Amino acid sequence: MERVLITGAAGFLGSHLCDRFIAEGFKVEAMDNLITGSLKNIAHLQGHPHFNFRRNDVTEFIEIPGEIDHVLHFASPASPIDYLKIPIQTLKVGSLGVHNCLGLAKHKGARITIASTSEVYGDPEVHPQHEEYFGHVNAIGPRGVYDEAKRFQESITMAYHRYHGLETRIVRIFNTYGPRMRLNDGRALPAFIGQALRGEDLTVFGDGSQTRSFCYVDDLIEGIFRLHFSEETRPVNIGNPDEITIGDFAEEIIALTGTKQKVVYQELPENDPKHRRPDITRANEILGWEPSVGRAEGLKRTYAYFRTLTPEELHKSEHKDFTAFKKN
């Protein structure tokens, strides 16, 4: 059986990748320092003969005995609340962390996929965003720690590909949702559902005219899996091009949950993108991929997951205490 290392394995996307690779017959070495991940996301895999969890920080030296055939680097804070509180750690996982993963892949002769993001496009001046667009990013703004970390990841990955001949893949992930999202991580969908379930008004930043395109997690994982086993070395957008304003999205959540709350508006954060929609032509032509789960169905599944939370979980603040990590 081939062995795959998945970093950020206890996170939202990482845990779903663990499920997929195990289902496909791989042995999974899962790695996470749990700074934003949760063991709850992989609790169902504990004791599985093809799953092994290592609590380790990828910004430190990585040593894994034996053969590794594949590496998927998905370790990184991905929520604005998180990466604004731990900016240096966010930069480190996108620089030292990816360097260590690339070095391990080179040493093991493994193929590596790195998780990039639609944030490399910044507040885009091109719409929808295609892979040839270089982006419009404020490197010294508050979001720059995440945006530039991901842009650096892409640069060093391509350098390893060109200089060392390493088999590399780059996936640019657009807004994704589904089970195992953290309820209060600051992103629109879990924030809206959490507020609805608690009987709170839904908070929209800005006037609600900014747009997003939401992809259900199962579709995203399928796209990543196809990309990893393709021969495509250029970045590939994976996301759902079905675009909606945040204001209309809040109203959809109110209708879905049947709550009586209203929408309230607050100031838009600095450098928050006004539009976000992927051009998925490359994914469609090269991978034969397009999303299959519509937003209405995906929201039903996601809402069903959040309704399984206990009252304690629903009202518990999930904002992490990063004090122990700030020394770095």
Structural domains of the chain in order of their starting residue, each with its CATH number: 3-177+216-238 (3.40.50.720), 188-212+241-276+293-325 (3.90.25.10)
Task: Per-residue pLDDT tens, the chain, 328 aa: give them.
Answer: 999 999 999 999 999 999 999 999 999 999 999 999 999 999 999 999 999 999 999 999 999 999 999 999 999 998 888 888 999 999 999 999 999 999 999 999 999 999 999 999 999 999 999 999 999 999 999 899 999 999 999 999 999 999 999 999 999 999 999 999 988 787 889 999 999 999 999 999 889 999 999 999 999 999 999 999 999 999 999 999 999 999 999 999 999 999 888 899 988 777 677 889 999 999 999 999 999 999 999 999 999 999 998 777 777 655 555 555 555 5
Q: How far apart are CA 219 and CA 113, in angstroms?
A: 17
Tell me the C-alpha distance between 196 and 232, whole Å. 42
Strands 202-205 and 211-213: unpaired
d(CA 188, CA 204): 8
Q: 146, 160, 177, 216: which one is catalytic?
A: 146
Question: What local confidence, expressed as pLDDT, does residue 46 receive?
Answer: 96
- Cβ atoms within 10 Å, residue 141: 15
Contact 157, 114 (CB under 8 A): yes
pLDDT in tens, 290-326: 999 999 999 999 999 999 987 777 776 555 555 555 5
Cβ atoms within 10 A of the Cβ of 75, count? 29
Cα–Cα distance measured from residue 25 to residue 275, given in angstroms and rounded to the nearest whole number? 39
Which residue, 121, 30, 23, is CA-closest to 74?
A: 30
Structure tokens at 218: 């199962």
CA dihedral 4, 156, 160, 130 (to 10 degrees): 80
Does the predicted TM-score (pTM) go above 0.85? yes
Q: Do the Cβ atoms of 308 and 197 come closer than 8 Å? A: no
First to last CA, the chain: 37
Pair 293, 230: CB distance under 8 Å: no
C-alpha R_g of the chain: 19
83 is catalytic: no
The H or E element containing residue 243 is strand 243-245
